[in-house]
Amino acid sequence: MTDGRCAALAEPAPARPLRKDAARNRELLVQAAREVFAERGLEASLDDVAHRAGLGIGTAYRHFPNKYELAKAIFAQAIDEIIALAERAAAMDDPWDGIVSFLEGTAEAQTADRGLREVLLGVHDDELVTRVNDRLSAPLRDLVRRAKRSGSLRKDAEATDLGLAVMMLCMVADITGDVAPQLWRRYLPMLLDGLRPGGKKLPVPPIGEDDLRAAMTSHKQRLLRVGQHRPE
């Protein structure tokens, strides 16, 4: 057997596109999962999702071996929506309006959806997260640069500050969502006021993008370990 034939045999076959009915079933499962996880978080089972989608559990398992693989599909879809928000914000004529739009839009999406918050915090895939950060960093850096140039954003603010501001708002919603689901809106103006020029000098520098990625990875891994050791 020649080296060329060996190499040809070693190359993986290209993935076949899903048939129309299979693609439709997969989309039904993802949409149903977003609804079920929004209501019950990741405590919901793959059986619950299949029932909401109107599909048999066997069909669900053919597409997703477990609910965490399904959560990854939701993660990718949700991140696309957040990136789209960042790109629209960066394209706005007034960069300050863009900052407000991004913070409000991302906080509103995540705080209204318990499952989305749990998916974004609980799903970790190194390759996917790297691609996401690369796509999200560019519009946020552009937005921050334009806002500083216009004089609407304090000079010591950075793109990572916007990302952490979103996390702060989502944590408020996560803690108080059952009793005061709109409480995060009280704290958004406080955060925005802190981003305006003229405030006191900040006592510590911002976290860098690489360090923030490492911190988020470590945080997610801790959450996963806690979940794995949680009593049934």
Q: Could you tell me if 67 and 115 are in contact, meaning their C-beta atoms sit under 8 angstroms apart?
A: no
pTM of the model: 0.76
- Identify the pLDDT of residue 94: 97
Residue 14 has pLDDT above 50, yes or no: no
More confident residue, 146 or 106: 146
Q: Which 8-state DSSP code applies to residue 65?
A: S
Neighbour count for residue 138 (Cβ, 10 Å): 15
Residue 229 has pLDDT above 50, yes or no: no
Two tokens, residue 49: 């999702």
Taking the C-alpha atoms of residue 171 and residue 185, their distance in angstroms, rounded to an integer, is 12
- Identify the pLDDT of residue 202: 92
- Identify the pLDDT of residue 225: 64
Two tokens, residue 67: 């609910």
Terminal CA-CA length for the chain:
54
Band (pLDDT 50/70/90 cuts) for residue 6 is very low
- Identify the pLDDT of residue 124: 61
Residue 149 has pLDDT above 70, yes or no: yes
- Identify the pLDDT of residue 223: 65
Taking only Cα atoms into account, the Rg of the chain, rounded to an integer number of angstroms, comes to 21
**Average of pLDDT values for 102-106?**
93
| pLDDT per residue as tens digits for the range 188-211 | 999 999 999 998 899 999 999 889
CA 55 to chain centre: 27
Taking the C-alpha atoms of residue 128 and residue 78, their distance in angstroms, rounded to an integer, is 12
Name the average pLDDT for the chain: 83
Band (pLDDT 50/70/90 cuts) for residue 98 is very high
Question: What residue type is 149 in one-letter code?
Answer: R
